[in-house]
Amino acid sequence: MKIIECPRDAMQGLPDFIPTPLKLQYLQQLLAVGFDTIDFGSFVSPTAIPQLRDTAEVLAGLDLSNTRSKLLAIVANTRGATDAARFEQITYLGFPLSISETFQRRNTNKTIKEALQTIEEIREICGKSNKTLVTYISMGFGNPYGDPYDTAWVVEFVELLIARGVSIISLADTVGVADAGSVRTLFQSLVQEYPAIELGAHLHATPATAVAKIAAAFEAGCKRFDGAIRGYGGCPMANDDLVGNLPTETIFSYLQTQGVLFDLDRHAFERSLKLADEIFPKH
């Protein structure tokens, strides 16, 4: 079971800039917990995501000598991938591919066809720089724009990604529209049909729906969960209102009731929870 902690997603939509030293303090604390991966920053235009304009500076300040966690950075184009690939500390490059044409344009300023070509280019960059591409299928459970949606398209997109050599695919409920039933159905079909793919859940949810979505994905065979401490965050490119991430502490709590064991530093996790409460605005 892999837990990916996503402070990048928690921070990116905040209007007030979190000072670089505070970001460093928080990320350094998260590195002590023992997460499989930390989605720590992004190499995108600072005009689009000003909160993360200091990602390279943050990366330079991190001490990775005593952590087993790997780092993931989000990119939106080949320029960003090229920039991120220069840093040997980064293991994964993440790219959002949307089923919604509207959101693909809003999020990366590309058509879906152009985004698929970009994925091929980023895969090539990853191959030359010893990185692994993680692709998110954004709006994987529907969208708020009235764009057509069908679960068969999700399967088609998975096959398009497999054909391009992508081996880690995360289904994203970008604006929290999925219910537990749709999560279970989609994960069951994909896990059974594509057992060689590492299939992840990047689900946005309200506190009232989080546990049901986690349970649905887990029961359907998902073994990779994205979360953010306290459920902070959301996608500022998707809608006017941010729908929070799955709270990491809720993911842990549920999976432990199912007998899943984690080799984590509990004290470091508790300190991370307290630090998050100091850094993030109450909402």
Active site positions, annotated: 235
Which residues lie below 8 Å from residue 218, measured CB to CB, with a gap of 6+? 225, 254, 255, 258
Closest CA to 236 of 22, 47, 37, 1: 47
C-alpha span between 173 and 201 (Å, rounded): 8
Q: Side chain identity at 107, as an amino acid letter? A: N
**Residue 44 DSSP SS3:** coil
- Rounded distance, CA 60 to CA 168, Å? 27
3-state secondary structure 68-93: CCEEEEEECCHHHHHHHHCCCCEEEE
Q: Which residues 6+ apart lie within 8 Å of 47 measured at CB?
A: none
